[in-house]
Amino acid sequence: AQSVTQLGSHVSVSEGALVLLRCNYSSSVPPYLFWYVQYPNQGLQLLLKYTSAATLVKGINGFEAEFKKSETSFHLTKPSAHMSDAAEYFCAVSDRGGADGLTFGKGTHLIIQP
Amino acid sequence: DTGVSQDPRHKITKRGQNVTFRCDPISEHNRLYWYRQTLGQGPEFLTYFQNEAQLEKSRLLSDRFSAERPKGSFSTLEIQRTEQGDSAMYLCASSLVQNTQYFGPGTRLTVL
């Protein structure tokens, strides 16, 4: 069975500082991995996805994530936080190329301090 | 491409009543998914369709829940005899086979 663990239910950073949101997964087969962002009272928007090509994946809004098989991790980073980045972030895993139901982590609430 | 739409956006009902939600996927997306999201949690998979066929159901989908996609386009999710524990955001997503799932804005259900 696949699972996702997001360390830290809340992460607070100053505007302009590095953003690091942690995600560890377990999967019995090579996984497909996703990061989604959710703003209040809205659905989920895809930030980026890993599909077994390049291990460093670039997404929208300046975010990127690196797949590390040895650490079973897929952490999300952004060099410089902006106030508009404040939202809930979810990591998700699929072992069938995203064609099945995704398994999500519990989410990390990102707070940006001015 | 107008995105995934869901109706209604909010639903308040009394315990024991039946409710039905609708999801319209992105046109030409042949896969449609339903998820449930409770406060402070990530979305949990309920079921998905490929065209009109329901291919997988989570054990979270009790017998009070039923989903349909009769013509392979829009889908409905019905909850019978609602319970307070059914209060959640119900999310719909659509995709082409083995591709990114695009989510709708969700229907927030409150059971009193």
pLDDT along chain B (112 residues), means of 10: 90 98 94 94 94 90 93 94 96 86 95 96
Tell me which amino acid residue A104 is.
F
Determine the pLDDT at residue A31.
Answer: 85
In eight-state DSSP terms, residue A18 is P
Cis peptide leading into residue A79 (ω within 30°): no
Q: Is A72 exposed, middle or buried (0-12, 13-18, 19+ CB in 10 A)?
A: middle
What is the pLDDT at residue A1?
A: 72
The 10s digit of each residue's pLDDT in A25-54 is 998 777 889 999 999 878 899 999 998 778
> Which residues does chain A have within 8 Å of residue B4's beta carbon, measured at their own beta carbons?
43
Exposure string over B69-92, b if 16+ CB within 10 A, otherwise e: beeebbbebebeebeeebbbbbbb
Q: Does A2 touch chain B (CB under 8 A)?
A: no
Partner-chain contact A99 B102, CB within 8 Å: no
- Name every residue whose Cβ is closer than 8 Å to that of residue B62 and which is 6 or more positions away in sequence: none
pLDDT score recorded for residue B1: 54
Per-residue model confidence as pLDDT tens digits over A60-87: 999 999 999 999 999 999 999 999 999 9
Q: pLDDT for A5-16, tens place per residue?
A: 999 999 999 999
pLDDT at position A27: 82
Closest Cα in chain A, distance from residue B79 (Å): 20
* Residue-level pLDDT at B98: 67
DSSP letter, residue B35: E
The pLDDT, as a whole number, for residue A63 is 97
pLDDT above 60: residue A112: yes
Determine phi and psi for A61, rounding to 5 degrees.
60, 25
pLDDT for position A97 = 65
Residues contacting residue A104 through CB under 8 Å, at least 6 positions apart: A4, A36, A90, A91, A92, B42, B43, B44
Residue A82 distance to chain B (closest CA, Å): 23
Q: Indicate yes or no: CB of B103 within 8 angstroms of CB of A99.
A: no
| Closest Cα in chain A to B41 | A106
> For an interface test with A, which of B101, B103, B107, B108 has the most A Cβ atoms less than 10 Å from its Cβ?
B101
Q: Show residues of chain A in contact with B43, CB under 8 Å.
A: 44, 90, 102, 104
